[in-house]
Amino acid sequence: MTKPAYLPDFLNKKVDLYNQPFFIPADPICIPHLFTKKQDIEIAGFFAAIFAWGNRNTIIQKSKELMQLMGMKPHDFCMTSRESGIKKLLSFRHRTFNTTDLLYFIEFFRYHYSRHESLETAFTMHGNTPAHMLTGFYHYFFSLEHIPARTRKHIASPEKNSTCKRLNMLLRWMVRKDDHGVDFGIWENISPAVLICPIDLHVARVARRLGILKRKQTDWKAAVELTEYLRTLDSKDPVKYDFALFGMGVMEKF
């Protein structure tokens, strides 16, 4: 794809504009920023990312509600909660995500963290490309007994040609080394260079208007196509341009 001459400087300026601390409070990334313990950041970030569709204020509100139900100690809650603690969750809902889904998520976290220190290994044990990591994570996440059929819809996979927007967003949060204090950079074994840009309807709309995304469907192939272009701008940190594209799409209504 031919780069429009003005775009590199234009997009870099937009990254500088939006990759700033003011971005945090109104974005779901504010949820993991409530915590300092690595495992709490991971679990809070996972839920906030999975809940991230629809109105951002509602996403943040429901994510905070869940963290409060977990006593603001999500890792401890997942590892040690008993019947009395679980009862607190029985009324929790967020759009199509309900208690059945939530209890399976907690069961997975209990299973994983009893064997691994970090959620990072749930991705890296399957390979070092995003497609391998995300596909492997999907199968690993649903490797426990008694999987509710309805819960599968909440975790995306490249196998199904999904954009995997929410998981790619989680990876951005956990992997990018961000000197502006937005992304966390607490996962050391995944290179920012291999990440895939989270793409939703807003990002896709902006990318198409800028001429850097040709694919008409908004799917995994579109996410890869967009990221391949972004790597021509910064091969070491292509997903930093998520700030530019998302900011233009949501905040500027570009």
Question: Would you list the domain boundaries of the chain?
Answer: 7-251
Indicate the DSSP class of residue 124: H
Question: Does pLDDT of 2 surpass 70?
Answer: no
Share of the chain above pLDDT 90, in %: 91
The structure tokens 């490797």 sit at 143
Q: Are 21 and 181 contacting, i.e. CB atoms less than 8 angstroms apart?
A: yes
Indicate the DSSP class of residue 4: P
Question: Does pLDDT of 177 surpass 60?
Answer: yes
Question: Does pLDDT of 82 surpass 90?
Answer: no
Return phi, psi of residue 162, to 5°: -75, 150
Tell me the average pLDDT across 164-190. Answer: 96
How far is Cα 120 from Cα 125, in angstroms, rounded to an integer? 9
Tell me the average pLDDT across 62-75. Answer: 97
Tell me the average pLDDT across 218-244. Answer: 98
Model pLDDT, residue 3: 59
Question: Does pLDDT of 26 surpass 80?
Answer: yes
Tell me the average pLDDT across 200-226. Answer: 97
Question: Does pLDDT of 133 surpass 90?
Answer: yes
Q: Are 217 and 188 contacting, i.e. CB atoms less than 8 angstroms apart?
A: no
Question: Does pLDDT of 181 surpass 80?
Answer: yes
| Model pTM above 0.85 | yes
Side chain identity at residue 200, one-letter code: D
> Residue 117's pLDDT band (boundaries 50, 70, 90)?
very high
